[in-house]
Structure 1
Amino acid sequence: MIPEPARADVGAFLSRLLRLDKAAVVRLVPGVGSTALWAHLPFGVLVVRGLPAVGGRDVTVRAEELLDALSGDAALPASRDPDWRWLLPPSTGRRVEEIPAAEVLRVAAAAAETARTALDEGVGGRAVGSRRVRDALLDHVPIVVETADGRVDVPQRLVQAVIRMNFVGGPDGPPVGVRRAGPWVGLAGAYGAAWHRPIGESLNLQVSPYRTNG
């Protein structure tokens, strides 16, 4: 069951998730004193929010059914374990940098403006389709952190994930942490985190980067 104090937060998480993917599933992973609520977004990012311990086993359910259950007795819906097809990061990783919330919001807004310009005017004088523009922006790296162990690239898809899931809050909110766990890169906001494991590159669109020396 979902504890009463956590239902509003879980409901907000599920509502935002379902706006992005009506068929989404969520995975509840129990921990010590808490449960992690995981989901996969359509643009290749995992998002997670912690909630008070639910109890029981590691289980995957449909997001829509879980949202419906919140208005009743909040009993977990039927298991959909075979529908979960994604690896999870090996840990919460280590924080390598903090980015002001206002800067993360600015990066997201700049991407939206770049997308509008690319669709209206093309790229390099050539017209491009909306899907290609979207994929290029998601692959673009607007935040670069230089650490003693090397460079950490934060792609736009992670920025969009924390913004669309409302993990950041307002511009005056707590800073957003850049995290690293093996090959995984994460952005951790005040209300949740997004994780991505890089696999390739795409069309290069020019968006002002944010560089920091961690």
Structure 2
Amino acid sequence: MTTGHGLDGVADAGAFLARLVRLDPATLVRLRPVPGMDRTALWARLPWDVLVVRTVTGTAPGDVTVVGGELLAELAAGGARLPRRRDDGWRWALPPVASRAVETLPAEDVRRIAAAAAGTLSEAAAHGVAGRAVGQRVLRDALLDHVAVVVTPDDAPDVPVEVPQRLIQGLVRMGFLGAGDVQVRVAGRWVGLVGPYGAAWSRKVAELALKPVSVHPNG
């Protein structure tokens, strides 16, 4: 029996998937129905270790994982079939559902930070750092790890929240910015940027540095 994907927000889902596929044609997308609502959260992992999510109308047939390119092709063709499930391929934990806002950033500031990082990368690639040539991958990784914003929450001033450039790039590259502000949110050991059209989440850098990598079959 053929199972349908259940998505009604085809334009929104298509925009999300198209950006993902440009970054990695083989990327996996996890569909998770939002309890009590006729909506589905689409989750994916970007090549620089950031999880992104966009919620669209329609209810997927349970918690399922498929190849993003295959789902995009099905939607583009006007089809309703769910591509072959790849549930075993999803190996990343998801942030907790409950989160709290710790700061609000103007969208223009986020765009400016992202543009400045892109300019720095281009300049360093062309002219090196301190007169010395540096590999493109080394430059990219250093830039992504750079802390772009530090937030001091009112309820926990001794525990600053660091927003790395990789989160900024995730939000901007996925087209999640709009005219509205961006919320910096914390959920357990995760830090997220939530824009008008979607969110980007990453584990806190300190935890990644101190803990060994572990595999989570499902979030």
Code of the aligned partner of 1:82:
D
Give the Cα–Cα distance (whole angstroms) in 2 for the partners of residues 134 and 65 of structure 1. 29
8 Å contact kept, 1:31–1:53: no
Residue 181 in 1 paired to residue 184 in 2? Answer: no
1:66-77 to 2 correspondences below 5 Å: 66-70=71-75, 71-77=77-83
Give the Cα–Cα distance (whole angstroms) in 1 for the partners of residues 48 and 98 of structure 2. 21
- C-alpha change, 1:40 and 1:200, in structure 2 (3 Å) is same
Which of 15, 21, 31 is matched with 2:18 structurally?
15
User: Counterpart in 2 of 1:103?
Assistant: 109
User: Counterpart in 2 of 1:207?
Assistant: none
1:149-164 to 2 correspondences below 5 Å: 149=156, 150-164=159-173
Percent identity, please: 54
Which SS does the other structure have where 1:75 is aligned?
A: coil
Which of 127, 134, 137 is matched with 1:128 structurally?
134
Give the Cα–Cα distance (whole angstroms) in 2 for the partners of residues 163 and 64 of structure 1. 21
Code of the aligned partner of 2:32:
V
How many residue pairs end up in the alignment?
Answer: 197
Give the Cα–Cα distance (whole angstroms) in 2 for the partners of residues 58 and 12 of structure 1. 21
1:20-169 to 2 correspondences below 5 Å: 20-32=23-35, 33=37, 34-70=39-75, 71-147=77-153, 148-149=155-156, 150-169=159-178
Show structure 2 runs of 5+ residues with no match: 211-219
Which SS does the other structure have where 2:160 is aligned?
A: strand
What TM-score do the two structures reach when normalised by structure 1? 0.88
- Superposition deviation, residue 76 in structure 1: 1.1
User: Counterpart in 2 of 1:208?
Assistant: none
Give the Cα–Cα distance (whole angstroms) in 1 for the partners of residues 50 and 70 of structure 2. 22
- Superposition deviation, residue 73 in structure 1: 2.4
Give the Cα–Cα distance (whole angstroms) in 1 for the partners of residues 43 and 50 of structure 2. 11
Which SS does the other structure have where 1:127 is aligned?
A: coil
Give the Cα–Cα distance (whole angstroms) in 1 for the partners of residues 79 and 134 of structure 2. 49
What TM-score do the two structures reach when normalised by structure 2? 0.86
Show structure 1 runs of 5+ residues with no match: 202-214
- C-alpha change, 1:119 and 1:200, in structure 2 (3 Å) is farther
Per-residue CA deviation, residues 75-124 of structure 1 (Å, 9 max, x unaligned), is: 21111001111110012411111100000000000001111221223223
- C-alpha change, 1:73 and 1:137, in structure 2 (3 Å) is same
- C-alpha change, 1:200 and 1:140, in structure 2 (3 Å) is farther
8 Å contact kept, 1:145–1:153: yes
Give the Cα–Cα distance (whole angstroms) in 2 for the partners of residues 22 and 165 of structure 1. 15
Give the Cα–Cα distance (whole angstroms) in 2 for the partners of residues 13 and 2 of structure 1. 16
User: Counterpart in 1 of 2:214?
Assistant: none
- C-alpha change, 1:49 and 1:92, in structure 2 (3 Å) is farther
- Cα RMSD after superposing both structures: 1.5
